[in-house]
Chains A and B, each alone.
Chain A
Amino acid sequence: MSEARSPYKMRPPVMQVRVEDSMDIMIVRDTTRRAAALLGFSPAHRAQLASASATLAELVLKTGEVHTIHLNGIIDGARSGLQISSETPWLASVSANNVLTALKSKMGELVDEILLERDPTTILMVMWLTSEGRQDER
């Protein structure tokens, strides 16, 4: 099983879900809501994060390979948030710009940041809990 990585300092909660079949998408959504609740996100932001993680789970499921979705609390200075990530090795040869454009057009409204890290290629999505960096303050 892959390990979580982040450009930010990671902290609890640390959760992971193996995605093997379509039932796991529901489990990813549920686990994300629980991780977001532990960090103090509002119900509306939990819904956004759950939709983002379920969409990522649907994406990795389409490859036919088993993947792991990681959920991690993160800290960056005064900001704290939740990171959703998954290794996506099949995107290793695709340009980062193309991947990020596609991901942001589908999920850009749901989270504050979508990042692509290399070696191994990993999609990361972040929502910050504090107002700094929020795109969608409701």
Chain B
Amino acid sequence: MALEVLLVEDSKTQAAQIKETLESVGLRVRVAYDGPDGLREAIANPPALIVLDVKLPTMDGFQVCRRLKRNPTTQDIPVIMLTEKSDPKATMSGLRSGADDYIPKDIFASEHLIETLQELGLLEE
């Protein structure tokens, strides 16, 4: 059975693109469109991986990641942040919040995302 990914992304266009990338490598994808919804989804039905946008309404991705890593139900789920904020401060904030990777949304994002999924053992190389 395919592993399930929870994608937390407020932009429906970007969510559709990332979902397509993840589905193209055989993963099943659930989408949450804001931080609180993402947290509820992750706790209610823990996925194999969470792909998290940083810029989210209500609660940003850093806050969501910190809460995921504090919750015993979700603390061991790998989190990959996929973001438009790639400066050093944002990168360190993302990694310190507990993310396993911090990937800027650029033309190489899909490749880097898939490589990290392989590295985390969620995909065969």
- Listed in ascending order, the chain A residues whose CB lies under 8 Å from chain B are 26, 29-30, 33, 37, 42-44, 46-48, 50-52, 54-55, 106-107, 109-110, 138
Q: Which residues of A contact B63 (CB under 8 A)?
A: none
> Does the CB pair B115–A37 fall under 8 Å?
yes
Main secondary structure of the interface of B (DSSP, over half): mixed
Bound state CA distance, A48 and B111, in angstroms? 17
When C-beta atoms are compared, the residue in chain A nearest to B117 turns out to be: A43
Query: Which B residues from 21 to 63 make CB contacts under 8 A with A?
Result: none
Return A108 CB to nearest CB of chain B, in Å: 9
| B116 at interface by CB-CB < 8 Å | yes
Q: What would 11 A/B residue contacts be, using CB atoms closer than 8 Å?
A: A26-B104, A29-B104, A29-B108, A43-B80, A43-B100, A43-B101, A44-B99, A47-B102, A48-B95, A50-B104, A107-B88
Q: Chain B, interface size: which category?
A: 20 to 34
Known: A44-B101, A54-B86. 16 other contacts (CB 8 A): A26-B106, A30-B106, A33-B108, A37-B115, A43-B120, A47-B102, A48-B95, A51-B88, A51-B91, A51-B102, A55-B87, A55-B88, A109-B92, A110-B88, A110-B92, A138-B95
B91 contact from A30, A48, A138, Cβ within 8 A: A48
When C-beta atoms are compared, the residue in chain A nearest to B108 turns out to be: A30
When C-beta atoms are compared, the residue in chain B nearest to A107 turns out to be: B88
* Nearest 3 A/B pairs, CB to CB: A43-B101, A51-B91, A47-B102
When C-beta atoms are compared, the residue in chain B nearest to A33 turns out to be: B112
Return A34 CB to nearest CB of chain B, in Å: 9
| B2 at interface by CB-CB < 8 Å | no
> Does the CB pair A43–B106 fall under 8 Å?
no
Q: Which residues of A contact B76 (CB under 8 A)?
A: none
B92 contact from A26, A33, A48, Cβ within 8 A: A48
Bound state CA distance, A52 and B95, in angstroms? 14
Counting chain B CB atoms within 10 Å of each CB, which of A43, A52, A55, A107 scores highest?
A: A43
